[in-house]
Homo-oligomer: A and B are copies of this chain.
Amino acid sequence: MDNFEFRCPTKIIFGAGSIEKIKNEIPHDKKILITYGGGSIRKNGVLKQVKEALNGFNYSEFGGIEPNPKFETLMDAVTMVKEGGYDFLLAVGGGSVLDGTKFIAAASKFEGDPWDILAKGAQINDALELADVITLPATGSEMNCGAVISRISTKEKFAFMSEKVYPKFSIIDPQTTFSLPEKQTVNGIVDTFTHVMEQYATYDVDTPLQDQWALGIIKTLLEEGPKVLKDPQNYNARANIFWCATCGLNYWISLGAVQDWSTHMIGHELTALYGLDHGETLAIILPSLWRIMKKDKMDKLAKMAIEVYGANEFLPKSLLADITIKKTEKFFHKIGRKTKLKEYNINPKEAAVEIKKRFNQRGTILGERGNITPDVAYEIVVNA
């Protein structure tokens, strides 16, 4: 096991009826800015519940944060925060709203050009306090300190991390997901699945407990995913899927283990270039990346075949790895997710050429062993 340090100060408030507890968690002297997206939280009553909980508090609203939240939009919020003197951000919505709000929190206190936070990884020394009512089980943003932000003008998508943007609290009421469109439910399952794989399917540094936990999330997704698709109002299944999403990226499964994240990095380019949903890009890239990088990921993929897919432990490792790749594709198909670029009318070669060019320009090298060069990324995309 590798050495590690870990501290997550976020308070999780989980369960039906939790939204009203906001009022116990925010000091009354705060000037609150509620941030949200396109308005689904109006339709499903979540915004109303939030406002009821904030009765007597001093708050305003900033709506319109996009899926794949855009730097340009978020900078409008930063202006509003500075001019209005807000000192507490409450994100209400999915991971994009929360990621955007993390950026607003950091950018509002940043000296210099906030784009440097994304493009240059500039250090964040301070941020506004933030919290969230998270309504989409997917990104795990509710219990981590990372965020992914896009820029329209340059068609780029960047991630940043800072301990300063851990939510103070996150409210997870699985009932808020009853009304999710099926596509978003599926995206969330694929996103969680891939988060876990980015942290599991690398090389082995003898972390049996972390492996068990990672695969425990996968097993739960395989069981509970079809349940929520069949019956969107199944509370326990919704709760289990949400808790899988949170635990898929709160770092618990990868402490002391080796991480990858190249499926995400390549997927981000597909979103930036073609506007595909994040969850769509992952289902396209993951199986192709595993095929190209199979030798490097063999041990873990083979272990997964035995533990998750019930394969015979005496089969050759290479065959076991193939079983994991095929069964994973089969699961994505089962929950209604395509796994090929062509199915989205995207020319794989064109995409591969463009992504290789971008990675060459930026000097991007990916993978847990640092061996996914732009040329290898080309192979992954062209075969996706």
| Identical copies in the complex | 2
Minimum CB–CB distance for A214 against chain B, Å: 9
Measured between beta carbons, the chain B residues less than 8 angstroms from A244 are 209
**Contacts A3-B18, A18-B3 given; does A209 touch B243 at CB 8 Å:** yes
Residues of chain B contacted by A1 (CB below 8 angstroms): 14-15, 236, 239-240, 243
- Cβ contacts under 8 Å, A4 to chain B: 12, 14-15
Q: Is the CB of B7 within 8 A of A14?
A: no
Does A10 have its Cβ within 8 Å of any Cβ on chain B? yes
Interface hit among A30-38, A216-224, A292-300? A216-224
Please, which residue of chain B has its CB at the minimum distance from the CB of A207? Answer: B240
Cα separation A215 to B215 with both chains bound (whole Å)? 12
Q: How far is the CB of A139 from chain B (nearest CB, A)?
A: 17
A209 contact from B5, B15, B206, B216, Cβ within 8 A: B216
For the complex, is A232 an interface residue (Cβ under 8 Å from B)?
Answer: no
Q: A18-B3, A216-B216 are in contact. Are A209 and B240 (CB under 8 A)?
A: yes
Q: Which of B6, B9, B16, B216 contacts A213 (CB 8 A)?
A: B216
Task: Give chain B nearest CB distance to A306 CB in angstroms.
Answer: 12
Contact in complex: A14, B5 (CB < 8 Å): yes
A240 in complex: contacting residue of B14, B208, B215, CB < 8 Å: B208
Q: Which of B213, B252, B255 is A212 in contact with, Cβ under 8 Å?
A: B213
B9 touches A9 (CB 8 A): yes
Write out the residue numbers on chain B whose beta carbons fall within 8 Å of the beta carbon of A215.
212
Interface assignment of A256: CB less than 8 Å from any CB of chain B: yes
Q: Distance in Å from the Cβ of A271 to the closest Cβ of chain B?
A: 28
The listed residue (B7, B206, B239) touching A12 by CB distance below 8 A is: B7
User: Contacting A13 at CB < 8 Å: which of B5, B213, B224, B239?
Assistant: B5
Residues on the B chain within 8 Å of A243, using CB: 1, 209, 255-256
Chain A: interface residue count, which band?
Answer: 35 or more
**CB proximity to B under 8 Å, residues A128-164:** none
User: Measured between alpha carbons, how far is A346 from B18 in the docked complex, in Å?
Assistant: 50
Residues of the B chain whose Cβ atoms lie less than 8 Å from the Cβ of A216: 209, 212-213, 216
The reply on A247 being an interface residue by CB < 8 A is yes
Question: With an 8 A cutoff between CB atoms, is A2 at the interface?
Answer: yes
Taking a contact as CB atoms under 8 Å apart, the answer to whether B16 and A12 are in contact is no
A8 at interface by CB-CB < 8 Å: yes
> Is B223 touching A217 in the complex (CB atoms < 8 A)?
no
Q: Please measure, in the bound complex, the distance between the C-alpha atom of A293 and the C-alpha atom of B239, giving whole angstroms.
A: 29
Q: Is the CB of B224 within 8 A of A220?
A: no
- Chain B residues whose C-beta falls within 8 Å of the C-beta of A209 in the assembled complex: 216-217, 220, 240, 243-244, 247
Known A-B contacts A2-B15, A15-B1, A15-B3; the reply to A239 vs B220 at CB < 8 A is no
Pick the residue among B7, B18, B206, B240 that contacts A9 (CB under 8 A).
B7
Point out which of A5, A236, A239 has the most chain B C-beta atoms below 10 A from its C-beta.
Answer: A5
Instruction: Tell me the nearest residue of chain B to A238, going by C-beta.
Output: B1
| B3–A11 touching, CB < 8 Å | no
Most chain B Cβ neighbours within 10 Å, of A1, A8, A11, A255: A1
**Known A213-B212, A217-B209, A244-B209: A255·B7 in contact at CB below 8 Å:** no
Interface of A toward B, CB cutoff 8 Å = 1-18, 169, 206-209, 212-213, 215-217, 219-220, 223-224, 236, 239-240, 243-244, 247, 252, 255-256
The 8 closest A-B pairs by CB, nearest first: A3-B15, A212-B216, A7-B11, A206-B236, A1-B239, A209-B220, A6-B12, A208-B220
Besides A1-B236, A7-B10, A209-B247, 9 new A-B residue pairs in contact (Cβ under 8 A), listed by A number: A1-B15, A3-B17, A6-B12, A7-B11, A14-B256, A208-B223, A209-B240, A212-B215, A252-B252
